[in-house]
Amino acid sequence: MWSLEQPAVLFLLLLVPLLVYRTHFSRNRGGRVAFSYRVWGSVGFAGAGGLRRLLYRASWVVFWAGLTLCIAAASGPVMIEREVVYLSRGLDIMLVLDESPSMLAQDFKPHNRFETAKGVIRQFVKGRENDQIGIVGFSEEAVLRVPTTRDYSLLLERLAAVEVMGLGDGTAIGMGLSLAGLHLQSGDTAGRVIILLTDGENNAGEIGPEKAAELATRLGIRIYCIGIGRRGEAYMEVKDPETGKIVTGKYVSNFDEDLLREISGLSGGRYFHAGNPVALSSIFEQIDSLEKSENRSRVGVRRIPAFRGLLLAGLIMILMDFAIRKGLLKEPI
């Protein structure tokens, strides 16, 4: 929102048209020059050329425009921005996303499991306030994609760039949970939460899921587990990273629900099964309602001065008028 600190100064703009008329259009705008009628029509009395006349008119247009901008700058324009200042910290949330090839199964139309999960995560992130959110990706290995941050724009940008097949073809649930817990252990927020999304059974990694869940429980971290997909055969399309060819086939989908229930139960969280995109969205809405912290905040007002640009432009125009008249038109100083 725009505001003026000295609005009364703008009344000076009413004088500008009067001064323009008095200086350039009034019959009494200058003194009288006496000369003999014999010089009328002579060569020496020839009027200024078209270019000089154009430069002259341009100079006074630039001058009055510059003066107008200087008056506008003197009125003290400011941009007022209201911003929410949080007085208490929110939650630390780590999203642990399965990036194994099975997430390319096409049973979450119109997208595969992986793209559907990313879309639901985007909506979840946009609905949070004052929470620090990060992303851990795992397959055969685990990696920190985004450390916990309140810069949701950066987080969503990094999420969009994540693709399947970058971390091998296994499913190391324990490694993903351990890495997430490691990055949450130093948090001093109202609560720390891990949300695990996977469609497979743990078959890789040096740390088992149960051990990782025990570690998270000792650290006071709650774990919500979401099993994605339907059991049975699922159609898949996989792009070979070396050749770029699309390989199609069928995949027998399965995941260890008992393990996921155990992991979530140990930490005081919950297990959910998402067999379709609507169910997945509903699960994230439930988690969103369960994990709400009390946010104390106040509305701050920031005033950003905006007169400098107007003043600089006005002074440049006035100097241009001086340069045209004294430099090009050779008026005496």
State yes or no: pLDDT of 29 exceeds 80: no
Q: Which of 42-46, 115-119, 172-176, 271-275 has the lowest mean pLDDT?
A: 42-46
* CA–CA dist 117, 200 (Å, integer): 14
pLDDT band at 212 (very low <50, low <70, confident <90, very high): very high
- Across the chain, mean pLDDT equals 83
Q: Tell me: pLDDT of 292 over 80.
A: no
Percent of the chain with pLDDT over 70: 86
Q: Length of the chain, please? A: 333
Quickly list H helices, the chain.
Answer: 15-24, 50-74, 113-126, 152-161, 173-184, 209-218, 257-267, 277-290, 307-323
User: Per-residue pLDDT averaged across 327-333, rounded?
Assistant: 73
Q: For the whole model, what pTM was predicted?
A: 0.65
Q: Report yes or no: 139 and 98 within 8 Å, Cβ to Cβ.
A: yes
Res. 135: pLDDT tops 60: yes
Please give the residue that has the higher pLDDT: either 128 or 89.
128
- Give me the numbers of helices (H) and strands (E) for the chain, helices first please: 9, 11
Q: What domains, with CATH codes, occur in the chain? A: 2-30+46-81+301-328 (no CATH), 88-290 (3.40.50.410)
